[in-house]
């Protein structure tokens, strides 16, 4: 079952049926094992189609598997010790698998069983999407709210969940809800902000994060951010969770102003939500991305103005240092879907059509190579690119590989990226990204080109990664860094040679 794909070393592939650990854990296990001396490469992963593709691309020959199998794939140097490498796999796995302890203290195996034994008011579900519905139903059965972080949940299941929740006065945050803040508790990817008068309902994780961070920078706190999942304002789902979330914010006396933020919504849903919001006693602002609609930064500015706060000068680092490109395309590499949407809307208006894996219209669909002879923007957080692997805000590998690729492409004029900080995100994204930006620029320079890199860095000073520390590190690598994604995009358009 092994076939050495490289000239040197030993390849070892083994399948462990029925073994399971989540993708984040396995990422860490793979890293730990790869760090063992004599191990050239290690990948311990569940055998999902995407992971199998990755393993194959790494040169491993794989036997037949099911997605419930764990694959241990090792590439060793000539003098590598297989037994030692396998021992490292065991050690890393057992470290990561919580100790079962004494048999009588076994942890609960379903969300329902855990809720029955707990007065927790909220369930947080981040199991693989195919299985998330079942865990979420447990929460509703137990009369609790639920946040579903998992993506790849079929929309029919989302509708069943939300209808059932509506009948019972419960809130479903998600699926694919990356961000929520409940009473100051950050869930999933969340930025640390001070409490304050604003409550957010977000059908967009990174859109919510951008809004929170801008408001925070302007000295306005957010007391609650209820994520509702990216499809909530679609025609199929019809804003079911948005209504419940708005109802909750309206009933909460500490919320002075509510903001609904979403990727481009279905028009009729947006209209009916505006009507619903008009009947509430709390003023509701809408930050719904779309053609001709205000961007998120403009939405933040209008919230500030409604609260009687002055409009700040949004922070930037190293802005204005790059020189304009002499032709070519703008290439966007995003981890945040809404930030990608926002950048595409602005770029399309200024420079023309943008191809993407999450296109604004179907004819702009980027194929799975993610390469096209045009302006392109890729959302690495999209479901299709996260099946069986961690979100790019946790695992930057895929995006870093692509950065090197677009940098080497002579048709790339400017690279636009986002970096999203906060709880849940990788602890020091600049540590890997800054050297990659340096390398990308050096690579372009070597072939006689200048490669401007513009970064939107979404975060706060209270975030564990600290906004200014990350921004300075990226600016130090030659990037222009902005807190506002809209400003970063405008700058990237300008550098590409656009009209603005």
Residues 75-104 that bind another protein (CB under 8 A): 96, 98, 102-104
When asked if residue 324 is in the footprint of another protein (CB under 8 A), the reply is no
Residue selected from 9, 175, 199, 265 as contacting another protein according to rule CB under 8 A: 199
Q: Computed from CA positions of residues 255, 258, 261, 267, in that sequence, does the dihedral angle turn out positive or negative?
A: positive
Q: Is there a contact between 210 and 338 (Cβ–Cβ < 8 Å)? A: yes
223 binds another protein, rule: CB under 8 A: yes
Examine residue 301 and tell whether it contacts another protein (CB under 8 A): no
Query: Is residue 357 part of the contact set for another protein (CB under 8 A)?
Result: no
Q: Using a CB cutoff of 8 Å and minimum separation of 24, what contacts does 57-63 make?
A: 59/5, 59/6, 59/11, 60/5, 60/11, 60/13, 61/1, 61/2, 61/3, 61/5, 61/11, 61/13, 62/13, 63/1, 63/13, 63/15
Between CA 358 and CA 151 the distance in angstroms is: 15
Neighbours of 375 (CB within 10 A): 27
Give the span between the Cα atoms of 407 and 442, in whole angstroms.
9
Among 81, 252, 443, 494, binds another protein (CB under 8 A): 252
Per CB under 8 A, 313 contacts another protein? no
216 lines the binding site for another protein (CB under 8 A)? no
Distance, in Å, from the CA atom of 211 to the CA atom of 194, rounded to the nearest integer, reads 13
Q: Rule CB under 8 A: choose which of 6, 8, 37, 68 binds another protein.
A: 68
Q: Whole-number minimum distance, CB 60 to another protein, in Å?
A: 22
Beta carbons of 146 and 125 less than 8 angstroms apart:
yes
Work out whether 209 is an interface residue with another protein (CB under 8 A).
Answer: no
Stretch that binds another protein, among 243-251, 270-278, 432-440, 485-493 (CB under 8 A): 243-251
Minimum Å distance from CB 347 to another protein? 33
Alpha helices in 239-380 (DSSP H): 240-251, 267-278, 296-306, 337-351
Task: Select from 244-252, 339-347, 436-444, 488-496 the region that touches another protein (CB under 8 A).
Answer: 244-252
- Pick the piece of the chain touching another protein (CB under 8 A) from 252-260, 278-286, 290-298, 339-347: 252-260
307 is a site residue for another protein (CB under 8 A): no
Number of residues that bind another protein (CB under 8 A): 76
Task: Figure out which of the listed residues 6, 94, 254, 447 binds another protein, where binding follows CB under 8 A.
Answer: 254
Contact 299, 463 (CB under 8 A): no
Which of 113, 298, 384, 404 binds another protein (CB under 8 A)? It is 113
Region from 230-238, 251-259, 313-321, 404-412 binding another protein, contact rule CB under 8 A: 251-259
Stretch that binds another protein, among 84-92, 142-150, 259-267, 360-368 (CB under 8 A): 142-150
Pick from 91, 78, 85, 93: nearest CA to 10 = 78
Q: Which residues inside 380-439 make contact with another protein, applying CB under 8 A?
A: 390, 394, 423-424
Q: Is 47 in the site for another protein (CB under 8 A)?
A: no
**Subset of residues 176 to 195 that bind another protein, contact rule: CB under 8 A:** 182-188, 195
DSSP letters, 184-219, are: TEEEESB------SEEEEEE-HHHHHHHHHHHHHTT
319 contacts 489 by C-beta, under 8 angstroms: no
The two three-digit tokens of residue 120, written as one number: 């927790």
Smaller CB distance to another protein: residue 251 or 267? 251
């Amino acid at each position: 079952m092994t076939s050495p794909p490289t000239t040197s070393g030993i390849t070892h592939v083994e399948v462990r049926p029925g073994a399971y650990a989540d993708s984040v854990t396995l990422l860490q296990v793979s890293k730990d094992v790869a760090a063992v001396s004599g191990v050239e490469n290690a990948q311990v992963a569940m055998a999902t189609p995407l992971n199998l593709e990755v393993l194959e691309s790494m040169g491993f020959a794989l036997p037949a598997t099911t997605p419930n199998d764990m694959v241990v794939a090792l590439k060793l140097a000539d003098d590598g010790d297989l037994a030692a490498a396998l021992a490292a796999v065991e050690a890393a796995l057992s470290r990561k698998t919580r100790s079962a302890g004494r048999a009588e203290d076994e942890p609960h195996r379903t969300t329902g069983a855990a809720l029955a034994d707990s007065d927790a008011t909220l369930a947080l579900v981040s199991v693989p999407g195919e299985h998330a519905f079942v865990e979420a139903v447990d929460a509703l059965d137990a009369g609790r709210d639920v946040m579903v972080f998992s993506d790849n949940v079929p929309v029919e299941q989302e509708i069943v969940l939300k209808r059932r929740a509506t009948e019972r006065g419960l809130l479903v945050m998600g699926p694919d809800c990356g961000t929520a803040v409940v009473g100051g508790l950050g869930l999933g990817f969340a930025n640390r902000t001070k409490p304050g008068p604003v409550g957010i309902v977000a059908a967009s994780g990174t859109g919510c994060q951008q809004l929170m961070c801008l408001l925070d920078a302007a000295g306005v706190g957010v007391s609650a951010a209820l994520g509702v999942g990216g499809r909530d304002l679609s025609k199929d789902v019809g804003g079911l969770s948005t209504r419940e979330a708005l109802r909750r914010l309206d009933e909460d006396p500490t919320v002075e102003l509510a903001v609904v933020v979403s990727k481009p919504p279905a028009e009729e849903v947006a209209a009916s939500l505006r009507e619903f919001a008009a009947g509430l006693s709390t003023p509701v602002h809408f930050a719904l991305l779309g053609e001709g609609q205000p961007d998120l930064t403009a939405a933040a500015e209008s919230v500030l103005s409604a609260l009687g706060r002055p409009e700040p000068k949004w922070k930037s680092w190293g802005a204005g240092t790059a020189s304009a490109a002499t032709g070519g395309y703008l290439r966007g590499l995003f981890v945040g879907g809404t930030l990608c949407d926002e950048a595409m809307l602005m770029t399309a208006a200024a420079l023309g059509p943008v191809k993407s894996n999450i296109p604004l219209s179907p004819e702009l669909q980027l194929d799975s190579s993610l390469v096209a002879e045009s302006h392109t923007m890729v959302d690495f957080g999209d479901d299709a690119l996260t099946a069986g692997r961690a979100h790019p805000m946790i695992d930057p590998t895929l995006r870093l590989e692509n950065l090197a690729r677009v940098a080497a492409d002579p048709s790339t004029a400017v690279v636009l990226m986002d970096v999203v900080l906060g709880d849940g995100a990788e602890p020091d994204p600049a540590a890997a990204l800054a050297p990659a930006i340096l390398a990308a620029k050096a690579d372009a320079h070597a072939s006689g080109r200048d490669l401007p890199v513009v970064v939107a860095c979404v975060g706060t000073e209270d975030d564990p990664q600290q906004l200014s520390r990350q921004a300075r590190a990226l600016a130090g690598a030659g990037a222009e860094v902005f807190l506002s994604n809209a400003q970063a995009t405008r700058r990237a358009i300008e550098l590409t040679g656009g009209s603005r």
